Amino acid sequence: MATLYTLRVIFFSSEALVLGLAWLIHLHFDQPIQIFASSLSLNDEVLKYLMMLPVAIGVWVINESRLLLQQDDQSIRILTAWPHYWRLRIHAIVGLAYAIVFSLIAFIPWTTKAGISTGTGMILFATSILGQLSLAASVYMARITVNEILAPLK
């Protein structure tokens, strides 16, 4: 049961949709994006910090996921007694995995020195940003929901 639920969370999520759309865009629109990316002229200093933005969002997601599952002793007792806690935990673990994947995707254009001046680099960068933002929104909403549920129980 947990394995099927984990697969469902992995493959039917907004993050999986971002990865799938990025793959389709790469297959069908790589040339127009290549032309657009080569026409961009960005300051190297700005570009260096911009390339680290997905990693910074990933670090925020990891911290918020930790806080989601381990707020304080009383919250941990309440959450772990909840019969569906295992689902929340699966969502958090899959979210952490996606945060790492999107951070690694962000490193590819940065380490190849081509940056986002190529079509593939631009697609990878956009994928990592959109994926991390989608993940951050999901984790943020989960934190709000868990806090709303726990507020009357504390």
Would you give the DSSP letter of residue 152?
Answer: G
In this prediction, residues 40-64 reach a mean pLDDT of 86
CA distance 63 to 144: 15
Q: Residue 71: its pLDDT value, please?
A: 79
In this prediction, residues 71-75 reach a mean pLDDT of 82
Considering Cα of 141, then 131, then 55, then 89, what sign does the dihedral take?
A: positive
In this prediction, residues 73-89 reach a mean pLDDT of 89
- Name the nearest CA neighbour of 127 among 2, 38, 15: 15
CA distance 121 to 37: 8
- Name the nearest CA neighbour of 58 among 20, 107, 23: 107
In percent, the amount of the chain with pLDDT more than 70 equals 98
pLDDT digits (tens, 9 = 90+) for 90-130: 999 999 999 999 999 998 888 887 777 788 888 999 999 99
Which pTM value belongs to this model?
Answer: 0.89
> Chain-wide mean pLDDT for the chain?
90
Straight-line distance from the first to the last Cα atom of the chain, in angstroms, rounded to the nearest whole number: 31
Q: Is the pLDDT of residue 151 over 90?
A: no
Sorting pLDDT into bands at 50, 70 and 90, what band is 30? confident
Q: Residue 70: its pLDDT value, please?
A: 84
